[in-house]
Amino acid sequence: MPAIITDQYRILNAETFVDSFVGIGTTGNNNYYTFLGHPNPKNIDVKNYGASDWGNPVPNPVDAFDQENFYYDSMLFLKKVTSNDVRRVIPRLDWQTGTIYEMYRNNYSSTNLTPQTKSTTLYGSNYFVLNSEFNLYLCINNGSNPDNPNGQKSLFEPTHTNTVPQEAGNGSDGYLWKFLYTISPSDIVKFVTTTYIPLPKEWGDTTTSNIKDAAVDGKIETVVIKNGGSGYSIDDSGTVSSTGTISGIPITGDGTGGTVTININSGVVESISGVVGGTGYTYASVRFEAGTFGGKTLIVGTGAEFEVVIPPKGGHGADIYRELGGFRVMLYSKYDNNVDDVPDYVLGNDFSRVGMVKNPLQFGGTDLLNNTTATNLSALKLKPDASSGLTTSNVTYSPNALITQKVGVGSTAVGYVASWNPDTGILKYYQPVGFSTLSSYSYKKLDFVGLGTAITGGSPENLIVDTSFNNQSSIVVGGKNVSLGQTFNLGKASPDVKKYSGEIIYIDNRAPVTRTSSQKEEVKIVIEF
């Protein structure tokens, strides 16, 4: 049977997703994290890990159960997404002079396309604009008339911020704009891009209640002349003229109180100069027939046609998410570059994947991870052999270099360098499963140990694990106490995250980006329902 999933279902799904962020960290709620990962994507030693031509082009992510663990294996660090980091968003349409904007109509469909964008739905049309002060306006009327059935060019930027729809400039372009909201400075920083702008976090709060409260269910705001007809005149106290204005022409339908004021010029309906919207209309038409209105008598001609635009449920401004199509959600994360302040992050290495995971668990337990930031990396506190005469500052472990350690007879632990800090002697590493071309280690994952041989891969010397570094999460460097973000026991620290826990719900592959101390990453993920 023919069926569709409606746009309102998409809006409902977006609302449900946003609501799932409320109360994060409490029992029965969800925790969401963005993450950066996949260093050294051109490494082809690891099964399903990378490709020699990564970035030319960037390979598409694969949505398959057998890929989930590989995404986890290459995850570097995570940032929690709170309810303040989530907004429903809509396309950004900056007001530009000379543009013909579409107006709000309730009847766009596959058989009635929007006149400018040729969309089958209202949400695909350009019926709202963002002005230069980050105010959002709904186009109530775009100057449509019999000579310009698809609207006229907008010449004046709307700037008003009251609750009543108004013209902009001198009104000669025929546009009528309804102010809806102003994007807050904090939301501008987080959620405004060249492509999207945010909807308010909560419609009807202290900043938007005046607009929501002003909405009237079924109030008519717009009546459009489709055909001016001919032969109309007005009898004003015995003086008959084919040019004049008559008010109080009723809007008929299932509502009450709606009227229009109509201007006639040489027998032709030329313009509408006023609408009294009434209430309760779900369908309506203009009763344009002989009668007495506002103390004047209308003498009817022929051919005049009108379109009454029905507002959304509750009236314009009642439900901003339904009115503007809030079926997209943006999630924001900012990764700072100061690893002293955020030791979970790493510098000097690449990332080529941005992702999102729902409800990961804490390492070694069953509780939800609830850290603001978290690392998915294991770490070792290294030191030189006492006989070497070196310090850690004399030794280098290059990013993504292969490191190994003999951990038993015929057994070797293998990993890659995520980061090396010669000042602290902390080496962070990752262990992707399946070293396919390294036959000696194929499909084995062994832990590095404290009481073992040196960690290979160092230059000019391999270092050993400092087992005296026990039950410590900070270290003094140059007289400053530096947080390490992990607790070390016998020189080893586990990740914050229980590997393979939670659900990976978003993956974005990209060309490699090297993290440096001179940059910050802002992650803005848009999910369309």
pLDDT tier at 45, thresholds 50, 70, 90: low
CATH of the domain at 48: 2.60.340.10
Residues 393 and 358 in one domain: no
Residues 75-104, mean pLDDT to the nearest whole number: 97
pLDDT tier at 439, thresholds 50, 70, 90: low
In a domain, 258, yes or no: yes
Interatomic CA distance for residues 300 and 298, integer angstroms: 6
Interatomic CA distance for residues 392 and 374, integer angstroms: 25
Interatomic CA distance for residues 37 and 369, integer angstroms: 18
CB atoms within 10 A of CB 479: 5
- Predicted confidence at residue 46, as pLDDT, reads 58
Interatomic CA distance for residues 95 and 98, integer angstroms: 9
In single-letter form, the type of residue at position 33 comes to: Y
Residues 339 and 385 in one domain: no
Residues 231 and 284 in one domain: yes
Q: Which residue in the block uniquely carries the two structure tokens 């109080």?
A: 248
Residues 383 and 436 in one domain: yes
Three-class HEC string of 115-163: CCCCCCCHHHCCCEEECCCCEEEEEEEECCECCECCCCEECCCCCCCCC
- Predicted confidence at residue 438, as pLDDT, reads 54
In a domain, 121, yes or no: yes
Residues 399 and 452 in one domain: yes
Residues 452-456, mean pLDDT to the nearest whole number: 90
* pLDDT value at 43 more than 80: no
Residues 318-331, mean pLDDT to the nearest whole number: 97
Residues 392 and 442 in one domain: yes
Residues 320 and 336 in one domain: no
Residues 377-388, mean pLDDT to the nearest whole number: 91
Beta bridge partners of 403: 415
Q: What is the DSSP letter of 63?
A: -
Interatomic CA distance for residues 7 and 13, integer angstroms: 10
Beta bridge partners of 137: 129, 179
Alpha helix positions (H), 140-233: 185-191, 209-214
Sign (positive or negative) of CA dihedral 106, 108, 110, 111: positive
Range of the domain at 481: 377-493
Residues 356 and 277 in one domain: no
Cβ atoms of 307 and 286 within 8 Å: the answer is no
Q: Which residue in the block uniquely carries the two structure tokens 């160092």?
A: 458
Q: What is the DSSP letter of 60?
A: P
In a domain, 1, yes or no: no
- Predicted confidence at residue 487, as pLDDT, reads 96
Residues 209 and 111 in one domain: yes
Our CA dihedral for 446, 448, 451, 453, rounded to 10 degrees, sits at 90
With pLDDT > 70 as the criterion, what percentage of the chain qualifies? Answer: 95
Which residue, 347, 346, 378, 350, is CA-closest to 455?
A: 378
Residues 172-181, mean pLDDT to the nearest whole number: 97
What is the helix (H) or strand (E) element at residue 71, kind and residue range?
Answer: helix 65-73
- Predicted confidence at residue 260, as pLDDT, reads 97
Interatomic CA distance for residues 22 and 25, integer angstroms: 9
Which residue, 384, 386, 392, 435, is CA-closest to 412?
A: 435
Q: What is the DSSP letter of 366?
A: S
In a domain, 2, yes or no: no
In a domain, 422, yes or no: yes
Longest dimension (CA), the chain: 118
The average confidence (pLDDT) of the chain is 92
The three-point CA angle 439-441-444 to 5° equals 130
What does the pLDDT look like over 505-529, one tens digit per residue? 999 999 999 998 888 899 999 999 9
Cβ atoms of 102 and 117 within 8 Å: the answer is yes
* 177-186, 203-212, 473-482, range with the lowest pLDDT: 473-482
Residues 188 and 319 in one domain: yes
Roughly how many angstroms between the first and final C-alpha of the chain, as a whole number?
Answer: 23
Where does residue 389 fall: left (phi above 0), alpha (psi -120 to 50 degrees), or beta otherwise?
Answer: left
- Predicted confidence at residue 247, as pLDDT, reads 96
In a domain, 428, yes or no: yes
* pLDDT value at 73 more than 70: yes
Residues 508 and 366 in one domain: yes
pTM for the whole structure: 0.90
- Predicted confidence at residue 443, as pLDDT, reads 53
What is the helix (H) or strand (E) element at residue 322, kind and residue range?
Answer: helix 320-324
What does the pLDDT look like over 14-23, one tens digit per residue? 999 999 987 5
- Predicted confidence at residue 27, as pLDDT, reads 46
Residues 321 and 207 in one domain: yes
Interatomic CA distance for residues 110 and 118, integer angstroms: 9
Residues 234-251, mean pLDDT to the nearest whole number: 96
All residues at 6 or more sequence positions from 12 whose CB lies less than 8 Å from its CB, including other chains: none
Q: What is the DSSP letter of 369?
A: P
* pLDDT value at 26 more than 50: no
Domain end position, chosen among 325, 356, 388: 325
Into how many domains does the chain fold?
4
In a domain, 476, yes or no: yes
- Predicted confidence at residue 4, as pLDDT, reads 83
What does the pLDDT look like over 117-151, one tens digit per residue? 999 999 999 999 999 999 999 999 999 999 999 99
Burial 128-164 (b: 16+ CB within 10 A, else e): bbbbeeebbbbbbbbbbbbeeeebbebbbbbbbeebe
In a domain, 446, yes or no: yes
- What are φ and ψ of residue 322, in 5° steps? -75, -40
Q: What is the DSSP letter of 392?
A: G
Q: What is the DSSP letter of 84?
A: G
